[in-house]
């Protein structure tokens, strides 16, 4: 079952169960995907983004909510921070399992070997390998400096 189909089924289940908060989050996810579908049509594609791109959208949504939750906590708005965290929980149901720190290190080593990287100039090749294989499974913002340290 594709990720898009899983999201549709979850949306229907949330409607049947009258889970308002979950339904709201699932609708936000669908809206983000439809926006990307429309943008793809403008670019000349068939208008249906693949699961890998949907995973990227979901990852971005999680990151946005983490930042919002942090800002709400700093502002003393704990109820809003909690709502953001609940949305994160729903979104993460559709993301692949996150790699452990040890698995991330192993993935970096494998990507460096595969790309034949020896200097910092090869960092783009290594990141391309990682993004092609592990999108949604690791935070590339924290992986980048690790790759740089290894190659530098």
- Quote the CA–CA distance of 19 and 92 in Å, as a whole number: 17
Considering the entire predicted model, what is its pTM?
Answer: 0.74
- The hierarchical CATH code for the domain 101-151 is 1.10.10
Residues 120 and 152 sit within 8 Å (Cβ to Cβ): yes
Neighbour-count burial for 103-112, b at 16+ CB within 10 Å, e otherwise: ebeebbeebb
- Quote the CA–CA distance of 61 and 127 in Å, as a whole number: 21
Which residues make up the CATH 1.10.10 domain(s) of the chain? 101-151
List the pLDDT tens digit at each of the 152 positions of the chain. 788 999 999 999 999 999 999 999 999 999 999 999 888 887 666 778 888 888 889 988 998 999 999 999 999 999 999 999 999 999 999 988 888 889 999 999 999 999 898 899 999 999 999 988 887 788 888 898 999 988 87
DSSP codes of every residue in 23-53 = HHHHHHHHHHHHHHHHHHHHTTS-S---HHH
Under CATH, what is the fold of the domain 3-92?
Hypothetical Protein Yqey; Chain: A; domain1 (1.10.1510)
């Amino acid at each position: 079952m594709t990720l898009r189909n899983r999201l549709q089924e979850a949306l229907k289940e949330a409607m049947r169960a009258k889970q308002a908060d979950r339904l709201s989050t699932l609708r936000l996810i669908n809206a983000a995907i439809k926006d990307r579908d429309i943008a793809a049509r403008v670019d000349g594609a068939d208008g249906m983004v693949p699961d890998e791109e949907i995973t990227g959208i979901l990852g971005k949504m999680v990151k946005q909510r983490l930042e919002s939750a942090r800002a709400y906590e700093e502002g003393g708005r704990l109820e809003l921070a909690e709502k953001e965290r609940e949305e994160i929980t729903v979104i993460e149901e559709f993301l692949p399992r996150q790699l452990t720190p040890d698995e991330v290190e192993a993935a970096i080593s494998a990507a460096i070997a595969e790309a034949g990287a020896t200097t910092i100039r090869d960092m783009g090749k290594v990141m391309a390998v990682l993004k092609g294989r592990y999108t949604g499974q690791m935070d590339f913002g924290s992986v980048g400096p690790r790759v740089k340290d290894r190659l530098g």
